[in-house]
Amino acid sequence: MTVKSILLFVTISFSLIVSSCKEDMTPVQSNTLYQSNFQQNQDGWTADIADYSTQQQDIRFESGWAGLPSPLDTTRKSIRVSSMNRSDDLFMFLKKKLTGLQPNTDYRLVFDIELASAYATNSIGVGGSPGGSVYLKAGATATEPAKVLDDDFYTINLDKGNQSTGGKDAALLGNIGAGEDVTDYKLITRTNAENPLTVRSNAAGELWLVVGTDSGYEGLTTLYYSNIKVTKK
């Protein structure tokens, strides 16, 4: 066999091996459905509040795109939300439409939320703890979460449970307590990795994501959401 023949044989054999390997390889599928650190903008998230009477005043609800507060890295961006809980049950939330999913399909969702909180877990306040009695929840629905007026009381058109319990449409991720004897803002993370939430997309392959706090503390709560990630199990 000539040198040229040997080289041709080696080349063909190598090509067959590579082709075989490609056929055996399984493409890696990303389980991340959504993630943002809000460095560019609010990425389509809008804020609102529910679970309060039309008669209640001085709620001081605010929201917007902002840098993290000092002593954190103020060059990092976030979505800032703030409100005074006058109803002892205020739900302060963010929502966003997620597209590009499989139509009419069940998804088991895990939410990983990073936010800045300045509230001690063991703190004492009116109605409850500013840290330990403000509960973080995350979920999704096939229809847009909306505030609904019923007999002079604003509720929300999803089952989020009440305060320390989750509901059909939203899982409890914990509270916003940032540790013992906290006085400055700290970054905390919360997840429902141990309890994924099952939701079904609509016929257009859409889900509405919702993240919020169900408060039992009758005072002012100001939080900064710095990262939201949603994965499928």
Domain at 66, CATH number: 2.60.120.260
Residue 203 in any domain: the answer is yes
Tell me what pLDDT residue 123 has: 84
Distance of alpha carbon 119 from alpha carbon 115, whole angstroms: 12
Query: In the 3-class helix/strand/coil scheme, how is 122-166 assigned residue by residue?
Result: CCCCCCCCCCCCEEEEEEEECCCCCEEEECCEEEECCCCCCCCCC
| Residue 227 belongs to some domain of the structure | yes
Tens digits of residue pLDDT in 204-213 = 999 999 999 9
pTM score of the predicted model: 0.86
Residues of the chain whose pLDDT is less than 70?
A: 1-29
- Confidence at residue 7, expressed as pLDDT on a 0 to 100 scale: 37
Which pLDDT tens digit goes with each residue over 3-29? Answer: 444 333 334 344 443 344 433 333 335
- Residue at 128 is within a domain: yes
H-helix or E-strand spanning residue 19: helix 3-24
Q: Which domain holds residue 149?
A: 31-232
Whether 21 maps to a domain, the answer reads no
Q: Specify the pLDDT at position 10.
A: 36
Residue 173 covered by a domain: yes
SS3 call for 4:
helix
- Domain total in the chain: 1
- Residue 28: what pLDDT? 38
Q: Tell me which residue has tokens 């999913």.
A: 101
- Residue 26: inside a domain, yes or no? no
Please report whether residue 49 resides in a domain: yes
**Residue 22 domain-assigned?**
no
